[in-house]
Structure 1
């Protein structure tokens, strides 16, 4: 599985319901410095967030972070996976999945309906506290969508994600987690995808399920990673450009892949990604790595990532993280010493 980074927002939300002592315990077990909780712009490797998820589960005996009035006891998700494994088709698996969640949770439930060309998973959330309600929506959709993608053996692109809460400061994360098309302050939280995909067969078996559960929750929140997908192929190709001043154009990569540029764009779009999005994700994580673990100047980092002007890098990094690169480096320095200059290469967001 390719590596990925997770926003510190989700780390803070995951431990919000714990006592101070329990919070320190689970953060330590996941290898996440507690000081990072104050750095909302920071990111952690997917492995660390996965370890944190499991540690919170064990601490609470609840696989839903203590958000619902009823505990989703440890082992519930595995039981749910076994229940949907032999559903035959994605639509039957999804309906069975949502009924299973309804049996485990009281405050958060969802239904599947078909609205013209769209299949819609609409969520009902009765949690009172606004931040907990939002994190419950985020977590529920990640679990449902991740399991859907795995069952079908392919990524299910979401054509739109709607949220029954105001646009949060970390909304940019949603374009990676859910869809490029977002709507906030909606009547209900919901995701939409092509209704024709409901007819997809469930391609997994009991042997594959053991692997899926052994790597959960990371295998869930990273969705299904098809190493032969166009997204994965493009990511591998662009990763080799990190550290070089020249990055290939989409037209150049399409020629290497022996397809027309329009075909490559269309196939990436079908997988819910884009050339520019993948390029930005790789450059963002590389920028974070250099700012935290090297002595390169901001101008040198910008040049190494293919920015012709340092000011363009400043604007891009502000869009990615909410702060200017110099401010990001200063805050990280205040949290402790950075990594050595020969630190390993940065993790890259895994989508594909």
Structure 2
């Protein structure tokens, strides 16, 4: 359910790519409502049914991808029967084929969202441009919000296709959802964005608008390969929450940026040598500086999503010399200024 990597197949799923068994249970909830899940179906996906109710159990991304295919085939619905109309088998192929014929990602996304709005009854996604930011808003006729799994499944489809169309990962600045936060949210933060906001007035995903101008150059052969590998090629960005990089990121988020240790002090805290720390992070495709930069961006977005603190205080807390330096960095990160982001974040609640 995570975003597709670069051109759609830059990485392959490995043993480290795992997904919480909770998401398996969520996928089965709508398709097996009458009783116990089909043990034979789980076995065909390579999932041990006896592990289904173990709190800490995880499955490989490949097993989850296979379960996805089996469930879609079983109920003839690529949205797991979570909408009165649903997405009949072949919907993803039609959506991609229609979208890739458009000149830009913005036009391709609008085509994809129009198709989803036509097919689905309860979730109507629409692209809204807001100067240097863009949001994909889900309009819903129901008063009661849907399950978080339903929202994130749709985000997986939309974001995964968008990244494939563009041939690169489209960074998600924030996702806001009407529903309450589920107890297994760590997986969603790994898959989509650290900045997830629950209990909001509407459900939407916020991205930088400049990516909408990217030209589309997908070929029929690339489409065939993408569909043959789906949804596994959409899951490859998932990374094990138990990885060293995830642990370092969590530790950084728990500290004020002024208290972040240097690499040598961090290595000592982890009972590692500095060279071992660098090597192990490199094996996960990370650097300590890169992790610090990423957390700084996450904190900036999270703090701007709230009414306080002020932008000058945020700049100071993040370690910038002044608010002007913060403005320049934020525009470099996200293509807009922090004041505009804060206005968009609060203007529609």
Q: TM-score, normalised by structure 1?
A: 0.63
Q: 1:224: Cα distance to partner?
A: 11
Change (3 A) 1:30 1:198: same
Q: 1:133 aligns with which of 142, 147, 150?
A: 147
Give me the whole-angstrom Cα distance separating, in 2, the residues matched to 1:6 and 1:78. 25
Q: 1:25: Cα distance to partner?
A: 3.0
SS at match of 1:16: helix
Q: Give the aligned partner of residue 90 of structure 2.
A: 75
Q: Give the aligned partner of residue 223 of structure 2.
A: 209
Q: Give the aligned partner of residue 236 of structure 1.
A: none
Is the counterpart of residue 2 in structure 1 residue 16 in structure 2?
A: no
Change (3 A) 1:25 1:71: farther
Q: 1:62: Cα distance to partner?
A: 0.8
Q: Give the aligned partner of residue 100 of structure 1.
A: 115
Q: 1:170: Cα distance to partner?
A: 1.2
Give me the whole-angstrom Cα distance separating, in 2, the residues matched to 1:205 and 1:36. 41
Give me the whole-angstrom Cα distance separating, in 2, the residues matched to 1:201 and 1:33. 44
Give me the whole-angstrom Cα distance separating, in 2, the residues matched to 1:247 and 1:215. 39
Aligned runs of 1:43-192 on 2, under 5 Å?
A: 43-126=58-141, 133-192=147-206
Q: Give the aligned partner of residue 241 of structure 1.
A: none
Give me the whole-angstrom Cα distance separating, in 1, the residues matched to 2:233 and 2:142. 27
Is the counterpart of residue 34 in structure 1 residue 56 in structure 2?
A: no
Give me the whole-angstrom Cα distance separating, in 1, the residues matched to 2:156 and 2:281. 31
Give me the whole-angstrom Cα distance separating, in 1, the residues matched to 2:275 and 2:211. 33
Change (3 A) 1:76 1:127: farther
* Preserved contact between residue 18 and residue 58 of structure 2 (Cα < 8 Å): yes
Aligned runs of 1:309-320 on 2, under 5 Å?
A: none
* Structure 2 gap ranges (5+): 1-11, 240-244, 246-270, 300-349
* Preserved contact between residue 90 and residue 152 of structure 1 (Cα < 8 Å): yes
Q: 1:126: Cα distance to partner?
A: 4.7
Q: Deviations over 1:22-58 (max 9, x none)?
A: 6323212101111222123211101100010011111
Give me the whole-angstrom Cα distance separating, in 2, the residues matched to 1:104 and 1:138. 18
Q: Give the aligned partner of residue 277 of structure 1.
A: none
Change (3 A) 1:21 1:96: same
* Preserved contact between residue 148 and residue 182 of structure 2 (Cα < 8 Å): no
Change (3 A) 1:26 1:253: closer
Give me the whole-angstrom Cα distance separating, in 1, the residues matched to 2:227 and 2:207. 25
Q: 1:14 aligns with which of 15, 27, 35?
A: 27
* Preserved contact between residue 18 and residue 238 of structure 2 (Cα < 8 Å): no
SS at match of 1:52: helix
Q: 1:218 aligns with which of 203, 228, 232?
A: 232
* Structure 1 gap ranges (5+): 226-230, 232-243, 275-352
* Preserved contact between residue 149 and residue 223 of structure 1 (Cα < 8 Å): no
Q: 1:250: Cα distance to partner?
A: 7.9
* Preserved contact between residue 162 and residue 184 of structure 1 (Cα < 8 Å): yes
Q: 2:40 aligns with which of 20, 25, 30?
A: 25
Q: 1:11: Cα distance to partner?
A: 0.3
Give me the whole-angstrom Cα distance separating, in 2, the residues matched to 1:269 and 1:90. 25
* Preserved contact between residue 108 and residue 127 of structure 1 (Cα < 8 Å): no
Q: Give the aligned partner of residue 316 of structure 1.
A: none
Change (3 A) 1:251 1:101: same
Change (3 A) 1:40 1:21: closer
